[in-house]
Chains A and B, each alone.
Chain A
Amino acid sequence: MDAFSPVSALAGGALIGLASALLWIGNGRIAGISGIFGQLLPPANTVIWRIVFLVMMVGGAGAAALLLPGLGPEGAGGAALSLKGSPLWIAIAGLFVGVGTKIGNGCTSGHGVCGLARLSPRSFVAVGVFMATAALTVAITGVA
């Protein structure tokens, strides 16, 4: 079972904050992953930087795993990572995530990090609602 990991949580969070600050100060953009991903769809006039961001995000996660293999589940890099549930369960979950982040205009990064840091009332509402709904969902459907 996973255990509380305050040091890696604080360090990883700082990296995420740094990434968000860099994109804001450098490019004037909010690092909201659902927005960057969702707007790969037409009509998107600036697709290139979104692709660069996402490809480098995957690369950054992979590189960090090579440098710090001990942080993966069971200390085995990313090898033991698995998703919860049947393919149908996963597809339904993905659909909810896609629809929800689109119409709610943000996810854990856009609302949860950037929006809260901006003290945006919309983001406080969004984070409160999706945290509560997610916790309720887990209470009903379970962790494993």
Chain B
Amino acid sequence: MRRSTTESPALQIVLIAIALLFLAFFLALPLVAVFGEALKAGFGPFLNAVTAPDALSAIKLTLLIAAISVPLNVVFGVAASWAITKFQFPGKSLLISLIDLPFSVSPVVSGLIFVLLFGANGWFGPWLAEHDLKIIFAVPGIVLATVFITFPFVARELIPLMMEQGKDEEEAAISLGASGWQTFRHVTLPNIRWGLLYGVLLCNARAMGEFGAVSVVSGHIRGETNTMPLHVEILYNEYDFVGAFAVASLLAGLALVTLIAKTVLEWRFNLHGSARH
């Protein structure tokens, strides 16, 4: 006899099968296709594609962008989470909704905003031209757009986590004479390290993979303002499919690493007894 709160084994199997089929078809298949197309012509062309000079500079730029945006957003994310979860102040929920804003705005619109602000005909355009500074169609623009897009990731991971942990431990530390910074380093940081790591992972994955916003602000200048995702688009539009998929597979590989690291982190998280999401 089965328990009153489960379905029949037959139904369970059917439901699991449908779910697995759906996931395999809609999610896994595209991933497989990336690697399949990349290696279609063999390993040689694949290697050539990823070591071509334009590809290499795209890779370098992508790494640079990530190296700048991620730490910036970590600092912000930690500061915002600390402010939101350890204190009471008016406008707290407004702050939280604002943090989520980049998520609900189309990446293209995000890019548009920066063009309106810093483009040649934008508000700051003339001023920038005067001082010989280029933001749009140059690397600073890409950094700015990426920072905007990836800005919620760290905060969104930390806020629920820190809310759940409460402030008892920090208050205890303060009462024992620790300073703000000491409390943060020795009490808060160890408690949030897994969530922080996870937020950094997601932030990084998005920073390296952002396409829409960066496409608008970059000007697609090969060798200079091309990130890896943009380079994929260029190659694809030139019908260099193997090349496009080759570079794409590097990004897909990054995605896999992110997923694996995330799974490992979640597993360790559960071991430490903290709830996830």
A-B interaction = no
